[in-house]
Structure 1
């Protein structure tokens, strides 16, 4: 049975909760005496516990002292932005949305892009600070395991720039095997001084994605508008997975400058605008890297 011990609960209150949930007998003064004699009262930790009447008092006490709280698996999908992550964590009662978002954005900077998407095992009421530290620590470990910082230095990009590019690749790619090709398009455009013209950056500006962007959307004034401004946007537009980060670091060795979504859901890549027009099959879209 899942029993919740709220923060600040003292020994008598814990006994009352256990009695109420029929984990121990009523008027069980022995349990309070055991807590006092063991000198563990200060070590008892709040949270949810999986307890049973079959456990003896010492077993229950040890569980509470060791903090053997119930943990829940929560999966953060690749490509979620910080708001989506905060909403998911809030819904699962792991953190409070606003508290988490305040910590993600510090001053003019943000941890957007570094909230590593993965499956985490955490208790309820884990707290914004703990959750943020856990996700950043996970990113750091992934970075070490995959030598991301060394690889970024070899490309001539900063780690922030690589994560920003990876976040765009994450939102553009429909299939993992296309990521390095999409990366090659953006790398080639950056080298050529062309605008990235990524629809994913427009969707980020809009907040709520549209099924089809309109001409006016491409003219929204924002530093994230890669149709208006050359180079990378100021920061990541989501939190990319490791495949997208590797793709940003290791683009396919191709001369592609354009891609279009085909009828089968896969992208068709081209080296010239003329080719791109043919691939678009006569669609009346504005010239860009993605349509």
Structure 2
């Protein structure tokens, strides 16, 4: 006999238990040769489990709720009281585990995106456990443009992990001070997914930034750059001793690069920039062509 489906707003019913959600997926997984898909799919949960053990979270490692292998990654639920520890120390430890693996491997490098979310999900030991809007949103965050862009822009030799937190995790865990990660190490972004009706505010954390990420901003609103009253934003890049202060750039989506940029930079969110060497000083200083995705866009 098929299970009857409850209609929303027809009656009141008990809310499912809140569960934290942790998910990762691998950058450029589909670009690997087919023969490597199976081994990499098996390797990713092994790396995450190793990091959980090193972070002192063996109990969580053994007690995952509704774990699933997604092919290019994994997702699992857990008691939300563990959320602070999934952010810190797990994310820095996972970054270290990936760095060690990538330094030693002769196979493909494993670089991961991670997302952390929380919400009510069924968890009664049935086949539908873990399915619901919070889980869908966890995967949308993983696929969002900013987290993909920030990992793509970073050095593959140094930056092995980029994490994104939902607004609920940000407010209840990071901003509230329950985790060892300081809010100043995170960047607010508008999380959108190409081809999906998904838009949420989220926060990025890159445990080991590299290259232009050391001076990049991916922020939510289009506003003029903020200027410090005490520190100028004039003159050369980091190489000539200049100091930057108040150099936040606010963009709708994508990467705002500050400092010296060489070669071409392309972001798939609808705007591409092709230029020779550039230096960011007062305002926008762009040489070459700037192409945007539609009329009227800056």
Report if TM-score (shorter chain) is over 0.5.
Answer: no
Structure of greater relative contact order (alpha carbons < 8 Å, 6+ residues apart): 1
Bigger-Rg structure (1/2): 1
Report the TM-score when normalising by structure 1.
0.27
Q: Which has the higher helix share?
A: 1
- TM-score normalised by L of structure 2: 0.26
Q: Which has the higher strand share?
A: 2
